[in-house]
Amino acid sequence: MFAHDNNDALHILQSVFGYPSFRGQQADIVNHVAGGGDALVLMPTGGGKSLCYQIPALLRDGVSVVVSPLIALMQDQVDALAEVGVKAAFLNSTQSFDEAMRTERKVRNGELDLIYVAPERLMTPRCLELLEASKIALFAIDEAHCVSQWGHDFRPEYIKLSVLHERFPQVPRIALTATADPQTRAEIAHRLQLDDAMQFVSSFDRPNIRYQIVEKSNGRKQVLDFITEEHPGDAGIVYCLSRKKVEETAEFLNAHGVAALPYHAGMDMATRTANQARFLREDAIVMVATIAFGMGIDKPDVRFVAHLDLPKSIEGYYQETGRAGRDGAPADAWMAYGLQDVVQQRRMIDESEADENFKRVQIAKLDAMLGLCETLNCRRVRLLDYFGQPSGACGNCDTCLAPPVSFDGTVQVQKLLSAIYRVEQRFGAGHVIDVLRGVDSEKVRQWRHDKQSTFGIGSETSEAEWRAILRQVIALGLVVVDHDAYGSLKLTAEARPVLRGERAVQLRQYQKPAKKKRDAAKPKGYAESALSPVEQAIFEKLRWWRVETARKHNVPAYVIFHDATMREIAKAQPASLDDLRSISGVGEKKLDTYGEEIISLIAAMG
Q: What is the mean pLDDT of residues 246-260?
A: 98
pLDDT band at residue 513 under the 50/70/90 scheme: low
Mean pLDDT of the chain: 91
Indicate the domain borders of the chain.
5-201, 209-337+375-401, 406-508, 533-605
Which of 294, 67, 41, 33 lies closest to 160 in space, CA to CA?
Answer: 67
Q: Does domain 406-508 correspond to CATH entry 3.40.190.10?
A: no
CB atoms within 10 A of CB 506: 12
Instruction: Determine the pLDDT at residue 520.
Output: 42
Instruction: Determine the pLDDT at residue 525.
Output: 37
- Predicted confidence (pLDDT) at residue 519 exceeds the cutoff of 60: no
Give the range among 316-325, 349-358, 454-463 with minimum mean pLDDT.
Answer: 349-358
Q: What is the mean pLDDT of residues 56-62?
A: 96
- Pair 414, 496: CB distance under 8 Å: no
Instruction: Determine the pLDDT at residue 527.
Output: 40
- Predicted confidence (pLDDT) at residue 351 exceeds the cutoff of 90: no
Which CATH code fits 533-605?
A: 1.10.150.80
Q: What is the mean pLDDT of residues 520-525?
A: 41
Which is more confidently placed, 317 or 352? 317
Main-chain dihedrals φ then ψ at residue 543, nearest 5 degrees:
-65, -45
Alpha-carbon distance 494 to 488, whole Å? 17
117-162: pLDDT as tens digits? 999 999 999 999 999 999 999 999 999 999 987 666 788 889 999 9
Which CATH code fits 5-201?
A: 3.40.50.300
Q: Does domain 209-337+375-401 correspond to CATH entry 3.40.50.300?
A: yes
Could you write out the DSSP letters of every residue in 241-298?
SSHHHHHHHHHHHHHTT--EEEE-TTS-HHHHHHHHHHHHHSSS-EEEE-TTS-TT--
**pTM for the full model?**
0.86
524-567: pLDDT as tens digits? 333 445 789 999 999 999 999 998 999 998 888 889 999 889 99
- Pair 213, 307: CB distance under 8 Å: no
Instruction: Determine the pLDDT at residue 526.
Output: 39
- Pair 180, 202: CB distance under 8 Å: no
Which of 416, 412, 420 lies closest to 488 in space, CA to CA?
Answer: 420
Q: What are the Cα distances from residue 74, in Å, to 34, 68, 176, 188?
A: 23, 8, 17, 23
151-208: pLDDT as tens digits? 667 888 899 999 999 999 999 999 999 877 788 889 999 999 999 999 999 989 999 9
353-407: pLDDT as tens digits? 888 988 898 999 999 999 999 999 999 999 999 988 999 999 999 999 999 999 9
pLDDT band at residue 515 under the 50/70/90 scheme: low
- Predicted confidence (pLDDT) at residue 2 exceeds the cutoff of 70: no
Common-topology check for domains 5-201 and 533-605: no
Residue 146, strand partner residues: none
